[in-house]
Amino acid sequence: MKILLTCCLLFSTLALNAQQSIAGIWNMGKDNTKIEITSENGVYGGTIVSSDNAKAKIGNQILKEVKAVGGEWKGKLYSPKKSKWYNAVLKKKGDQLQVTVKAGMMSRTIEWKQE
């Protein structure tokens, strides 16, 4: 009976984590750039909504094809410096979104804060 109860609690916790939304306004930190992440049919995307950087292009898509996969999200993040899309893994932790960008064998994790 204890094993059954433990399994039920574990699976319900995993289901709740997988259902957390990443939609909203996120501050990337650098240049106070803010991204709005929205969902359409379970697929997330993000556009720049404001920035203190004069070169930032408001309205440009910077995040695309993001889908929930086992408690995290996987998709593509655009690098304006390289003019290239990179694979990204996003994990929501409270009011922060940990974004890990992968390029070949290298990866870098940055944290965005929810507005």
In order along its 115 residues, the chain shows pLDDT tens digits of: 445 434 333 444 444 444 589 999 999 998 999 999 999 999 999 999 999 999 999 999 999 999 999 889 999 999 988 999 999 999 999 999 999 998 888 999 999 999 9
pTM assigned to the model? 0.79
Cα 44 from Cα 1, distance rounded (Å): 40
For the chain, the domains span 2-114
Domain with residues 2-114, CATH architecture? Beta Barrel (2.40)
- Please list, residue by residue across 18-57, b when 16 or more beta carbons sit within 10 angstroms of its beta carbon and e when fewer do: eeeebeeebbbeeeebbbbbeeeeeebbbbbebbeeeebe
